[in-house]
Amino acid sequence: MSNNDVVKTLIQSKVSLAPMAGITDFVLRSLVRKYSPNCLLTTEMISSEYLAQTLNGRSGVEILKRDENHSPISYQISGHKPYMMKQAAEFLTQYADMIDINMGCPVKKVVGGQDGAALMRTPELAADLVRAVKDGTDKPVSVKFRLGYTADEMNYVEFGQAMQDAGANFITIHARTRAQMYSGQADWSKIKVLKENVDIPVFANGDITSIEDAIKCLELSGADGVAIGRGALGDPTLIGRIVHFIKTGERIPIPPLEDRIEMLKTHLYEEIKLRGENVGIKFMRKFYPYYLSGFEHAKQLRSKLVLEENLEQINNILSQTTFFQVH
Ligand SMILES: Cc1cc2nc3c(=O)[nH]c(=O)nc-3n(C[C@H](O)[C@H](O)[C@H](O)COP(=O)(O)O)c2cc1C
CATH of the domain at 279: 1.10.1200.80
Is residue 326's pLDDT more than 50? Answer: no
Q: Are residues 201 and 318 in the same domain?
A: no
Considering 206, 222, 248, which residue would you say is the last residue of a domain?
248
Sheet of 141-148, strand order: 15-17, 225-228, 202-205, 170-177, 141-148, 98-103, 73-78, 41-47
Measured distance CA(168)–CA(142) in Å, rounded: 5
Q: Are residues 26 and 83 in the same domain?
A: yes
Single out the catalytic residue among 20, 23, 105, 111. 105
Q: Are residues 7 and 97 in the same domain?
A: yes
Considering 248, 268, 285, which residue would you say is the last residue of a domain?
248
Residue minimizing CA distance to atom 21 of ligand 1: 229
Give me the torsion for CA of 232, 142, 222, 18, rounded to 10°.
10
Give me ligand 1 centre to Cα 229, in Å.
Answer: 6
Considering 198, 231, 248, which residue would you say is the last residue of a domain?
248
Q: Are residues 189 and 271 in the same domain?
A: no
Is 105 annotated in the active site? yes
Q: Is 105 in the pocket of ligand 1 (CB under 6 A)?
A: yes
Measured distance CA(274)–CA(249) in Å, rounded: 37
Is residue 294's pLDDT more than 90? Answer: no
Q: Is 173 in the pocket of ligand 1 (CB under 6 A)?
A: no
Q: Are residues 129 and 242 in the same domain?
A: yes
Average pLDDT over residues 77-97: 97
Measured distance CA(269)–CA(279) in Å, rounded: 12
Q: Is 116 in the pocket of ligand 1 (CB under 6 A)?
A: no
Q: Are residues 286 and 229 in the same domain?
A: no
Measured distance CA(140)–CA(73) in Å, rounded: 11
Q: Are residues 44 and 188 in the same domain?
A: yes
Q: Are residues 242 and 318 in the same domain?
A: no
Give the total number of structural domains in the chain.
Answer: 2
What is the model's pLDDT at position 295?
Answer: 87
Domain CATH for 90: 3.20.20.70
Identify the DSSP state of 183: -
Q: What angle do helix axes 123-136 and 156-166 make, rounded to 10 degrees?
A: 30
Percent of the chain scored above 70 by pLDDT? 96
Cross-strand bridge partners of residue 74? 42, 98
> Distance between the two ends of the chain, CA-based, in angstroms?
59
Instruction: Write down the pTM of the prediction.
Output: 0.96
Q: Are residues 207 and 318 in the same domain?
A: no
Q: Are residues 39 and 93 in the same domain?
A: yes
- Can you give the residue range of the structural domain that contains 124? 3-248
Least confident interval from 41-45, 117-121, 292-296: 292-296
What is the model's pLDDT at position 296?
Answer: 87
Q: Are residues 137 and 280 in the same domain?
A: no
Give me ligand 1 centre to Cα 222, in Å.
Answer: 21
Q: Is 117 in the pocket of ligand 1 (CB under 6 A)?
A: no
Pocket test for ligand 1, best of 20, 115, 213 (most atoms within 8 A of CB): 20
Q: Are residues 225 and 165 in the same domain?
A: yes
Q: Is 191 in the pocket of ligand 1 (CB under 6 A)?
A: no
